[in-house]
Amino acid sequence: MGISRHPFIDGFCSACKPADRRPPWQWCEEHVRVDETSPLPGRWRFGASPWVRSVVDDFANKTLRDIAVQRAAQSAKNQTVTNCASSAIAEVRPRMTVRQGELPNAAGQH
């Protein structure tokens, strides 16, 4: 069992962590796992669907407003959208809220 830290310390450390500057496709290859129902279960690999990498790179391009994709059935389109959303959510920096005074307890009393 590891040492337990105060949630404030964990939040502060997370907020101070530098942003991940890798392209989203690299983040996906490290963090995304495909379930056993896929023909290629396990760690996501862009080598299996090389066309997906350009879509994920375009998703990270803040100058693009729309991305249109036309591909055949069963060509990783849903997984591509999931990967894009997952990498974007992973990069959202936590916000810290500071409140003075007492917080209400579970019964709604002060």
Q: Is residue 102 part of a domain?
A: no
Domain hosting 38: range is 20-90
The answer as to whether 36 is a domain residue is: yes
3 in a domain, yes or no? no
Domain count for the chain, please give it: 1
Instruction: Tell me the pLDDT tens digit for each residue of 52-91.
Output: 888 888 888 889 888 888 877 877 888 888 888 888 887 7
Share of the chain above pLDDT 70, in %: 80
**Three-state DSSP string of 51-104:** HHHHHHHHHHCCCCCCCCCCCCCCCCHHHHHHHHHHHHHHCCCCCCCCCCCCCC
Question: Would you give the distance in Å from CA 107 to the centre of its chain?
Answer: 35
Give a yes or no: residue 31 inside a domain: yes
| pLDDT band of 109, cuts 50, 70, 90 | low
Q: Is 95 within a domain?
A: no
Instruction: Convert the pLDDT of each residue in 20-56 to its tens digit.
Output: 778 888 888 888 888 888 888 888 888 888 888 888 8
**How many angstroms separate the CA atoms of 42 and 47, rounded?**
13
- Residue 99 confidence (pLDDT) above 70: no
Q: Is residue 27 part of a domain?
A: yes
Residue 28 resides in a domain: yes
What are residue 13's phi and psi, to 5 degrees? -60, -40
Would you say residue 11 lies in a domain? no
